[in-house]
Structure 1
Amino acid sequence: MNALLYAVTVFIWGSTWLAIAYQIGDTPVVVSVGWRFGLASIALFIILIARNALPKLTAENHKMAALLALCLFSNNFLCFYFATQYIPSGLNAVVFSLAPILNALNLWWLEKKRPDATFIQGALMGFVGVLMLFGAQFIHSAMDMTILLGLAVTFIGTYFFSMGNLVSARAQKKGMPLLPTTAWAMGYGALYLFAIALLMGYSLAFTTSPLYVSALVYLAIIGSVVGFNTYLALIGRIGAAKAAYCTVLFPLIALSLSTVFEGYEWTWQSVIGVILVVSGNLRVFGLPEPVKRSVKRWSRT
């Protein structure tokens, strides 16, 4: 079951970055993200009501869901959508793969769980890899400063996501039900985003082109309802550290799709950068147990 959850999460999240790129255009980013999580929340509530599985949450649970909304279902994606205007979606995903390292840093900062030397080595490899990736993109784009803006914004979004991981882990430790909490959190995120849009004077209407609508439906139902819940289920079943392998693997899918559909051009710096990012994460968390078992079987033959 865990292997299936891994595979589904990696494929879905690896492909959502390209769908995000297809939403960039006439519709304001804050409206696009709001509709994504608004539709996702409605779909989850329909599923829960149909299954008669919508428990009442306490006031404390709703506070936790609202905090989760700010970290996982609003501010982080505002950053990711905004950054996709300036950098290829695949690079956005690579920066996002640093989330497990930020998780460990947050645990050090907030819970005084100091990382060991292995973590420091892996973190340095990951950050150097990202610098090489964006250095190659920076040079290739004739020193376009907007690339640095995209890098900074997507890093802020990744930090929001990292904080959301800690909030989700704490909520599940308190026994909060996963699907209802996620449904409320997505709903709160959508209301928060719509309020921002209205305060900025934007209409809540969105582009009705087939490409935009198909990307919206894919992101809301597949990317949010399915993808987030498989990932959060992994956190609950095997812990945040092991679930973090998803973020190591899906940037490879995202970059592959970006190469085919966005014309992302590889250089020797970008290849080394991706290798360093993946290797840094693997240095921190080690190889997954199934891979270890496969290596042992292969070495015995």
Structure 2
Amino acid sequence: MSNRWRRRSARYKRGPDHWLIRLPLPAPRRFPPDTRAPAPLTLASPRVLIPFVIISLIWGSTWIVIRDQLSVVPASWSVTYRFLIAGSAMFALAAWQARRSGEGVLLDWRALVFTIALGLMQFCLNFNFVYQSEHYITSGIVAVIFALLIVPNTMLSRAFLGTVITRRFLAGASIAVVGIGLLLAHEARAISGDASAVTTGVTLTLIAVLCASIANVMMASQIARAQPLFALLAWSMLWGTIFNAAFAFATVGPPVVDWRAGYLGGVAYLGIMGSVVCFPLYLSIIRNVGAGPAAWSGVVVPMVAMALSTLLEGYDWSGLAIAGTVLALAGLIVALRPAGQASD
């Protein structure tokens, strides 16, 4: 007897008159609905880790490009050109998002006031202080100091957003900060200049870190989360461009352009790759895991910059640089470990 016939005959039985009587089919099994909440996202989640890797690689390359931007063009005008390009492209993306989702590009007045403050902190003060600092200290030192962004981001997120800080995260951050200190000690050896110039450069960089941290926490706030991502960034970049242009005109005079292909290509790369591609990804990371974990990209970026410098400029790795890189990566690994593998 075939399996098919057995399955069919199992649904019948013989009655008293030798007639086959069809048996009722068994009721289908019902499973209770899954009411478990989805697991919270972490830096190790693919949805977060992939953008994290992308922005770390791109922003690691921008430090080399920024160095060439410090030419005959004043830094404030270079920043203006960068965000003029980025803001224009971001408005195009905002219009595309509006057509797909039905949300408008225009924001209400509260959101517009918010974007003015965000544009001032993130796309004007932050970048102007970074560009200006590289007149006094090397880009390597600026990049390494910026890795300390994880500290104010974590503290401000805790103070203003009530973000929970786990022991695992603190342990990883502490290890990474020690590694950053070793990297900073290595880069400090390259300083050639008087103490006042070094102090000025470090001070400008620390102010830039604070401005970036305030902007990061603003992007993690409820009012920022309620806005369409591209529209929020587009308006912020618009205000940042206006602030940059006003500051540049007031401090260094009319616009200056370097028509070298290297300079123009660098502005385009920083505007499109370093801003239009990276900032939406970075904002999505902040929305998913918070400003503190997002700042781990600042720990990875200097190491990417040093790796690229090794390939392109013959960067010399010392024992301090190697030890600092290992410790910084170890701190990142500790922070990325699933909660089940480390006590919170």
TM over 0.5: yes
Stretch of structure 1 that moved more, 182-191 or 131-140: 131-140
Aligned ranges for residues 11-26 of structure 1 at < 5 Å? 11-26=57-72
CA contact (8 A) 1:91 1:255 kept: no
Q: Is 1:91 the equivalent of 2:163?
A: no
Q: Is 1:80 the equivalent of 2:130?
A: yes
The Cα RMSD (Å) is 3.0
Tell me by how many angstroms 1:127 deviates.
4.3
CA offsets, 1:130-168, max 9 Å, x none?
443333333344575344433332222112111111100
Q: Which residue of 1 aligns with 2:32?
A: none
Aligned counterparts of 2:291 and 2:162: Cα–Cα separation in 1: 17
Aligned counterparts of 2:184 and 2:105: Cα–Cα separation in 1: 46
SS in 2 for 1:26: coil
Q: Which residue of 2 aligns with 1:298?
A: none
Q: Which residue of 1 aligns with 2:235?
A: 184
2:326 is aligned, of 275, 285, 291, to 275
1:5 is aligned, of 28, 33, 51, to 51
Q: Is 1:133 the equivalent of 2:204?
A: no
The verdict on how the C-alpha distance between 1:262 and 1:153 changes in structure 2, with shifts beyond 3 A counting, is farther
Structure 2, gaps ≥5 residues long: 1-45
Aligned counterparts of 1:136 and 1:245: Cα–Cα separation in 2: 20
Q: Which residue of 2 aligns with 1:63?
A: 113
Tell me by how many angstroms 1:263 deviates.
4.6
SS in 2 for 1:85: coil
Q: Whose helix proportion is higher, 1 or 2?
A: 1
Stretch of structure 1 that moved more, 225-234 or 84-93: 84-93
How many residues are aligned here?
291
Tell me by how many angstroms 1:120 deviates.
5.9
CA contact (8 A) 2:157 2:292 kept: no
The higher-RCO structure (CA 8 Å, 6+ apart) is: 1
Aligned counterparts of 2:60 and 2:191: Cα–Cα separation in 1: 24
Q: Is 1:287 the equivalent of 2:342?
A: no
Higher Rg of the two aligned structures = 2
Aligned ranges for residues 1-301 of structure 1 at < 5 Å? 2=47, 3-50=49-96, 52-53=98-99, 54-110=104-160, 124-141=174-191, 144-145=194-195, 146-171=197-222, 174-280=225-331, 283=334, 286-289=335-338
CA contact (8 A) 1:132 1:269 kept: yes
Tell me by how many angstroms 1:50 deviates.
4.8
The verdict on how the C-alpha distance between 1:229 and 1:27 changes in structure 2, with shifts beyond 3 A counting, is same
CA offsets, 1:1-45, max 9 Å, x none?
624322322221111111111211110011111111111101111
CA contact (8 A) 2:176 2:299 kept: no
Same amino acid, percent of matched pairs: 29
